[in-house]
Amino acid sequence: MSTKSCVVLFSGNGSNLENLLNKRDETKDKLNYISAFTDNAEAKGIEVCKKFNLDVIVSKRDTIHEDLNKFLLNNNPDLIILSGYMKIIPELIVNMYLGKIINIHPSLLPKYPGLNTYEKVIENNDRYQGATVHFVTKDLDEGPIILQGSFPVREGMTKAELVKFTHKTEYIIFPIVVEWFAENIIQFKKGKIYLKDKLITEPIVYQVNVTNDQFI
């Protein structure tokens, strides 16, 4: 099995990026993080890249899409990870890399695509919250779902608690999906997901115990 190449796109703190890089030995010889790209020159994730000696390209604000296209063409990655990347990728670029781009979103999609997910969970008194890793398509947060992590919402849980537990859920499920991709366990074919060559018709959901970072 040849080693796959991977790039990461981010806009903010890079906490998911740091978590993935901390666990990169789990995909050693199967997947190699070769570079990163950010649209934000002030992103704290840049320091994460420096910490792990990962090359990072910082885009100019007025040429973001052009810079991204050039970055991807130069690196020709097998996997593109969106780790808190807050810009919508042009449809042309998405279609060029269809089945190679994965994103993590802080809700149990299809619930609450877009922004302000935590406020919506509280407003609607949801019993469960979590995170979703999905393939990226031209439609925002609507690509085929690979894996979800879910945890119960306690009565009176604050937004800060929801954010904390959702992040912990992301840190558990995101590396799993990356490992699945590295080992060819998941594949994207004609808009559908196959797990070990078996068609997945419903999202795979892990119930997560966020107090000790384990599955229930």
Torsion of CA 95, 83, 69, 2, to 10 degrees: -80
Rounded distance between C-alpha atoms, residue 1 and residue 167, angstroms: 32
Q: Which one of 65, 105, 134, 167 is the catalytic residue?
A: 105
Rounded distance between C-alpha atoms, residue 17 and residue 200, angstroms: 27
List the structure tokens of 39.
């649209």
Q: What is the DSSP letter of 216?
A: -
Match 């570079």 to its residue by tokens: 35
Rounded distance between C-alpha atoms, residue 112 and residue 118, angstroms: 9
Percent helix, strand, coil in the chain, to 5, is 35, 30, 40
Task: Confirm whether 105 is a catalytic residue.
Answer: yes
Distance of CA 149 to the CA centre of its chain: 13
Torsion of CA 115, 18, 98, 206, to 10 degrees: -70
Rounded distance between C-alpha atoms, residue 152 and residue 125, angstroms: 11
Q: Where are the alpha helices (DSSP H) in 86-153?
A: 91-96, 117-123
Rounded distance between C-alpha atoms, residue 128 and residue 203, angstroms: 15
Active-site residue numbers?
105
